[in-house]
A and B are shown apart, each in its own frame.
Chain A
Amino acid sequence: MKIAILALQGAFAEHEQMLKSLGVETTLIREHWEDASGLIVPGGESTSMMRIMRDEGLFEPIRQAILEGLPVLGTCAGLIMLDRNHLGVMDIKARRNAYGRQLGSFNTEADFKGIGRVPMTFIRAPYIEEAGPEVEILARVDGKAVAARQGNMLVTAFHPELTDDTRIHELFLSIVANQND
């Protein structure tokens, strides 16, 4: 199994490290990624990443691959990029900078459906403001949806790659494994 990580701007090295610790092969997109069986869209600045993704001609290929069923994990800016107003592949609407500026960034712990208590790091994070009927909300913090799944797409408003807890990545890898069965 090989997982591609969108490496245009942001914290892609952290996802790479996390997957390596789980013994998973990775490739960074701008490189060759056609044979990848999953994709991670990391944290960073979503406006930067969108701009670069369009300029690099990656917008349509990535959108198509996800629509055709490529499993994808989007964290923080990655969640924003999958929503209705960006790549438009997931039936959610993200609220950007939902917790305000950096002084509003925080750590917490909350229940994640099917996993249990999970440490969550929110950095100038979004949350999910609206979700369509096919979207399953997996975690809430203060009543706001902060993690969700819709078929092959898994998103978190927080950064699982910044903690030592590997369970979110393992959940994603199980989605990838099932897809390939």
Chain B
Amino acid sequence: MEDRTTLNRQLAQMLKGGVIMDVTTPEQARIAENAGACAVMALERIPADIRAAGGVSRMSDPKMIRGIQEAVTIPVMAKCRIGHFAEAQILEAIEIDYIDESEVLSPADDIYHIDKRKFKVPFVCGAKDLGEALRRISEGATMIRTKGEPGTGDIIQAVRHMRLMQSEIRRLVSLNDDELYEAAKQLRVPFDLVQYVHENGKLPVVNFAAGGVATPADAALMMQLGAEGVFVGSGIFKSGNPEKRAQAIVKAVTNYNNPAVLASLSEDLGEAMVGINESEIQLLMAERGK
């Protein structure tokens, strides 16, 4: 494997057990860093506001992203539209630490994702199931996350994606060697990736939960379902007490197996983000890019 791909996968390994928070200002970025976030996602509008505003949603202003890069020492990520390799080139030019080729923004291409192997900078991509995850990895993604419905505060989709991915991984592990070729065909992914999952019982890259995480309990749920870390978008800065909630979610990811600690973390957090149920929304962002 290429040096760069390995280094980029390894950066994701360093983020494990951590929380990556959406921030829109340098001030929010500092709150996130002080709360113990292992990285921040710089964007102009958090997903809940993108959803509310409607219209076409694009890469953030590079100047705004730079402001956040200057405010913190932890890695800074930013989103580009699915298939929009020019936006990705711009993010690479400002030396972003990780690009999220994200369904939260309006897709720029309804057939092709970005050829991520052409870039030196790493990419994280969303996936609803194992096939999607392995296709993104084959395109060069070095980190995967669930595609839980952004900006809803509803965890159901992230849970569905993580459970499906884990059960598909267990199924691949159980297959005989001679059945892997057919599995690769059905999943529409390269054989060597199927073989890797069969032998190792996990993806070849780090797998985080994303979308709909609003409470410490949500974060703990995703970690117990097999996530290696958590993205929190609107859940923090759309809540009553962002600072306290951010700290609580960081601690919940560290102590995800300790209900007594989780109980005390969940106390007095103020109002959670309002949230929208899956059945109440018009636009399913998870259906963007497959």
A positions within 8 Å CB-CB of B: 7-14, 30, 43-45, 47-48, 51-52, 55-56, 76-77, 96-97, 100-103, 105-107, 121, 123-124, 159, 162
How far does the alpha carbon of A136 sit from the alpha carbon of B155 in the complex, in Å? 51
A124: contacting residue among B69, B97, B251, CB under 8 A: B97
Flag if B34 contacts A11 (CB, 8 Å): no
B121 near A44: Cβ-Cβ < 8 Å: no
Nearest chain B CB to A22 CB, angstrom units:
20
A43 and B75 CA atoms in complex are apart in Å by 14
Please tell me if B98 contacts chain A, counting CB pairs below 8 Å.
Answer: yes
Pair A101/B17 contact, Cβ less than 8 Å = no
Q: Given A48-B74, A123-B7, are A102 and B34 also a contact pair (CB < 8 Å)? A: no
Q: How far is the CA of A85 from the CA of B35 in the complex (A)?
A: 19
Contact B120 A103, beta carbon cutoff 8 Å = yes
Contact (Cβ within 8 A) A56 B254: yes
Q: Which of B36-44, B161-169, B209-217 is the interface stretch?
A: B36-44
Q: B7 touching A121 by the CB < 8 A rule? A: yes
Report the nearest B residue to A55, measured CB to CB: B251
Which single member of B11, B17, B33, B247 contacts A123 (CB below 8 Å)? B11
Interface residue B3 (Cβ < 8 Å from any Cβ of A): yes
Beta-carbon contact of B18 and A45 below 8 Å: yes
Residues of chain B lying within 8 A (CB to CB) of residue A77: 14
Contacting residues, chain A, for B10 (C-beta < 8 A): 11, 105, 121, 123, 159, 162
CA distance A77 to B18 in the complex (A): 14
Question: Are B74 and A47 touching (Cβ within 8 A)?
Answer: yes
Contact between A30 and B38, CB atoms less than 8 A apart = no
Q: How far is the CB of A93 from chain B (nearest CB, A)?
A: 15
Instruction: For the complex, give the distance between the alpha carbons of A111 and B129 in Å.
Output: 45
Instruction: State A121–B8 Cα separation when bound (angstroms).
Output: 11
Separation of A44 and B250 alpha carbons in the complex (Å): 14
Complex contact A101–B74 (CB within 8 A): no
Please tell me if the beta carbons of B33 and A9 are within 8 angstroms of each other in the complex: no
Q: List 30 A-B residue pairs with CB atoms under 8 Å apart, sorted by A's residue number.
A: A8-B254, A9-B36, A9-B38, A9-B254, A10-B15, A10-B16, A10-B17, A12-B17, A43-B14, A44-B17, A47-B36, A48-B18, A48-B38, A51-B36, A51-B250, A52-B251, A52-B254, A97-B73, A101-B69, A101-B75, A101-B95, A102-B7, A102-B122, A103-B121, A105-B7, A105-B11, A107-B6, A107-B7, A124-B97, A159-B10
Chain B, residues 22-41, CB within 8 Å of chain A (1/0): the string is 00000000000111111100
Contact with A along B112-148 (1 / 0, CB 8 A): 0000000011100000000000000000000000000
Whether the pair A14, B250 counts as a contact (CB closer than 8 A) is: no
**Chain B residues, Cβ within 8 Å of A76:** 14
Closest-CB distance, B54 to chain A (whole angstroms): 33
Whether the Cβ atoms of A9 and B17 lie closer than 8 Å is: yes
Which residues does chain A contribute within 8 Å of B6, judged by CB atoms? 107
3 nearest CB pairs, A to B: A51-B36, A45-B38, A102-B97
Question: B39 contacts A45, CB within 8 Å?
Answer: yes
Q: B residues within 8 A CB of A56?
A: 254
User: Chain B residues with Cβ under 8 A from A124's Cβ?
Assistant: 11, 14, 75, 97
What residues on B are CB-neighbors of A51 within 8 Å? 34-36, 247, 250
Give chain A residues whose Cβ lies under 8 Å from the Cβ of B89: none
Other 10 A-B pairs with CB < 8 A, given A14-B13, A47-B33: A44-B38, A47-B73, A47-B74, A48-B18, A48-B37, A102-B8, A102-B11, A103-B95, A124-B11, A159-B10
Among residues of A, the one whose C-beta sits closest to the C-beta of B255 is A30
Q: Are B75 and A44 in contact (CB under 8 A)?
A: no
Task: Collect the chain B residues with CB atoms within 8 Å of residue A121's CB.
Answer: 7, 10
Which residue of A is nearest B3, CB measured? A107
Q: Mark B247-285, 1 if CB is under 8 A from A, else 0.
A: 100110111000000000000000000000000000000
Question: Taking A47-B73, A55-B251, A121-B7 as contacts, is the C-beta distance between A101 and B97 under 8 angstroms?
Answer: yes
Return the CB mask of B59-94 against A: 1 if under 8 Å, else 0: 000000000010001111000000000000000100
Residues of A close to B75: CB separation below 8 A: 45, 101-102, 124
Query: B255 → chain A, closest Cβ, in Å?
Result: 7
Residues of chain A contacted by B38 (CB below 8 angstroms): 9-10, 44-45, 48
Contacts of A103 in B (CB 8 A): 92, 95, 120-121
A44 close to B11 (CB less than 8 A): no
In chain B, positions 208-242 with a C-beta closer than 8 Å to chain A are none
